[in-house]
Structure 1
């Protein structure tokens, strides 16, 4: 498989040792078995994983190897000129079933990882059962994601396709700047739809960040310092709804300036966004959804069997009402005297 290609990859730790070197095909017992590739795919021998070290940590006991189990799928011009369907099937491990992860491109298998392959490796890894989220982004790299040596006499310190200076453009991969300066405009990354399916009768298919199998809420609350910076009050910030700066120009092609358009929000006279029902975010660009399933209900004082006395609140309320009545009577009596 040559460039360009799609890479289907699953990261696991701890990694296997000994392992094949990057660019070499694995020898017997050097890599995972039970991996199934599809049409126009091959094992990604360019990257088997890496050695992980925490910056600033002087204790090497926390260092570890991680493996990248991946297959590459050959792409052609059609994958950049018309829509295609990318699919991932993820079945977590459960008793009696090792689970699997499968990647598809236009309904053709790219990689099938059977959880049994991870079990047989003996490293303790498995098909992930942690809650996940989907991240759709454009990864920008000066090298198209494929590292290459710096050309001779090129300083490779500054990268700017718009610069007239050769020293700032010589470090890019061949054709990179031409792609960005194409007469038809720069490349665009468009997503038509995202659909997620789950089996309501399957107990391992759950929605939520703190499930019975992975109750993360209490741990994060007890170790907040691990999940925030010095400037954060809490690990998670609230979602800002509206109040993003806008121009209100209906001719603008920037959806932020129009607060998502007529159906999502409006730009007020103060040039800030005001979101319509069902939309959120600073510029009303995100659907306002929520997860009504609470597996891990926040703790209450009654959970430990303590019931606060109700006499004090009732007595306090009665006393306040009595004082109010005395005040009203005194006020009326004073008016009669005057």
Structure 2
């Protein structure tokens, strides 16, 4: 699979694209683990131009009516920053493989405040929808854990197979952060070995269950060897952290974020957890040194994700692994359209020993920055993710990410660039970086490769289904504002955008009278709109219709029969099953005949000859077949073709 984003003018609002959806909602983070978000996600901030997917952030006021959990009523709300979040939730998912993203980072590398990220999340959780991630994120433990059973909603301790899920298999929504960028004022950060300064890229696996005893202290490296108290020092115990993590190049363990404790919730929070349901999520991560060049020209970021596999006869279990890579700028790499908007900063003198650069540059230009082995997670019982997952590209604005930590007592702690009184609480240069389109994350291409014969695409794969669980809990995946959403996602349609001629319809659509497209529009209205061919979608037919041609778990259930697979087959011998089916068929036929005779008799008594009786059970279609995404471009060597969606 690949998307090269070469067609300009693509839009990604709900229903516009068959592979991606840009959000239209506030990033609320109102829970105790919230991220201090200051932005409103607006789909208009995501588009394609100059061969890039453009995810922009800018100043812009958004007002809406929302629920205030503290006041317990609907109130007028406002945010002063607009940004973009585009993702493939429930459209394009994959399990394992190689992900390569060519991108230019947004904003000023030496001005904090922006939080650009490219990440992978399990499809059972929808990013920014807290109801969908509570007790789901970032679980990755298939086996039963009795102590934490109540904190993992889909626990391996449950033998029940509701919603098509396999009984006895724990599920969740694990997070793999390809990169999260921390810009800001330079200066080497404490406890980093080798020394790393802002801007840096965080490369992280966020996973549960986490370490609960003798955790490392935030801002300090783990103490691996304890002290017996001699020499006047207090005795200490070794701290527990994941062994055998590998860092290379200008990369170090991330001592500033070891994870999130999801404790008992407060009454005003939008989700609920009791004390028995609290759990620790760990961030197993690294920090990789970034440069100004990453904000000026295209660089390639790569994750190789190999899910674990159970061992077969005579084979050992493969616990899986995740590897992160960064590629240096290639000769002739594309730059930011219009040029780099900032003057090159003077670099202070540093000793060569301050960096841990390889002695000999890689001939391929790749830096193999960070590795997590599945065996490293054995200390908690967590697994390398096996969930069908989707890609997310977003830029957040958060008071907890790159904003001043200590502000003067006289400072009014507010974050509005248009209010002079807030200047003391804002990062230097932050407001300027949002002017003139400079805060745009530009994605040149996204490519997913999988090994031939091991392809696993789709959001509802056999063995790891998600469709029925999501369908059974749709409210968790919808915006909380009443009457706004009829479902988590709108149907993807093509056409309807206003046009003047065929050129405005993506080169393949037709510009026609609105009356010829819609029954409800008068033919003499004078409006002309795009009409798309069957293989194109979007208001102006600029995106390829992308669909999954491989059967998912739900389709497999329909083909094989739910009753036989889920109830009869596991517990009864086949001869008994055959007898039960035959008896059931005779019973239904007998009841149907009796009802028919009874109703016809009633009709005669009333002087009306009735027709055939209505069937006893009238079962509508479960749902229109969803356009799950696959169309994996398979070639020898596992490489995908560079074909637009």
TM-score (norm 1): 0.75
* In the alignment, structure 1 residue 177 sits paired with structure 2 residue 409: no
SS in 1 for 2:558: coil
Deviation by residue 1:95-125 (Cα, 9 ceiling, x = unmatched): 2101011111002112111111012x1x221
* In the alignment, structure 1 residue 238 sits paired with structure 2 residue 494: no
Deviation by residue 1:211-266 (Cα, 9 ceiling, x = unmatched): 2221223333444454445645444432243335x57699xxxxxxx56x545786
Q: Match for 1:47 among 257, 260, 268?
A: 257
Q: Does structure 2 conserve the Cα–Cα contact (< 8 Å) formed by 1:150 and 1:156?
A: no
Give the number of equivalent residue pairs. Answer: 293
Partner Cα separation in structure 2 for residue 74 and residue 302 of structure 1: 54
Q: Match for 2:247 among 23, 37, 48?
A: 37
Query: Looking at CA atoms only, which structure, 1 or 2, has the larger radius of gyration?
Result: 1
* In the alignment, structure 1 residue 26 sits paired with structure 2 residue 222: yes
Q: Judging changes above 3 Å, is the alpha-carbon distance between structure 1 residues 225 and 187 closer, same or farther for their aligned structure 2 residues?
A: closer
Q: Match for 2:449 among 188, 191, 197?
A: 197
Q: Does structure 2 conserve the Cα–Cα contact (< 8 Å) formed by 1:158 and 1:167?
A: no
Q: Match for 2:411 among 150, 154, 160?
A: 154
> 1:215 maps to what in 2?
465
Partner Cα separation in structure 2 for residue 175 and residue 71 of structure 1: 27
Q: Judging changes above 3 Å, is the alpha-carbon distance between structure 1 residues 263 and 98 closer, same or farther for their aligned structure 2 residues?
A: same
Q: Judging changes above 3 Å, is the alpha-carbon distance between structure 1 residues 284 and 23 closer, same or farther for their aligned structure 2 residues?
A: farther
Query: Aligned-pair distance for 1:48?
Result: 0.5
SS in 1 for 2:240: coil
Q: Judging changes above 3 Å, is the alpha-carbon distance between structure 1 residues 114 and 170 closer, same or farther for their aligned structure 2 residues?
A: same
Partner Cα separation in structure 2 for residue 20 and residue 83 of structure 1: 36
Moved more, 192-201 or 149-158: 149-158
Query: Aligned-pair distance for 1:63?
Result: 1.6
* In the alignment, structure 1 residue 287 sits paired with structure 2 residue 544: yes
* In the alignment, structure 1 residue 167 sits paired with structure 2 residue 388: no
SS in 2 for 1:79: helix
Q: Does structure 1 conserve the Cα–Cα contact (< 8 Å) formed by 2:320 and 2:374?
A: yes
Query: Aligned-pair distance for 1:30?
Result: 1.6
Q: Judging changes above 3 Å, is the alpha-carbon distance between structure 1 residues 267 and 78 closer, same or farther for their aligned structure 2 residues?
A: farther
> 1:59 maps to what in 2?
274
Partner Cα separation in structure 1 for residue 204 and residue 414 of structure 2: 31
Partner Cα separation in structure 2 for residue 52 and residue 217 of structure 1: 26
Q: Match for 1:10 among 201, 205, 225?
A: 205
Deviation by residue 1:172-225 (Cα, 9 ceiling, x = unmatched): 10121232347xx523321111111111323xx411122222122333344445
* 5+ residue gaps, structure 1: 251-257, 313-338
* 5+ residue gaps, structure 2: 1-195, 225-238, 311-316, 328-365, 514-525, 564-580, 594-645
> 1:118 maps to what in 2?
377
More strand per residue: 1 or 2? 2
Q: Judging changes above 3 Å, is the alpha-carbon distance between structure 1 residues 284 and 135 closer, same or farther for their aligned structure 2 residues?
A: farther
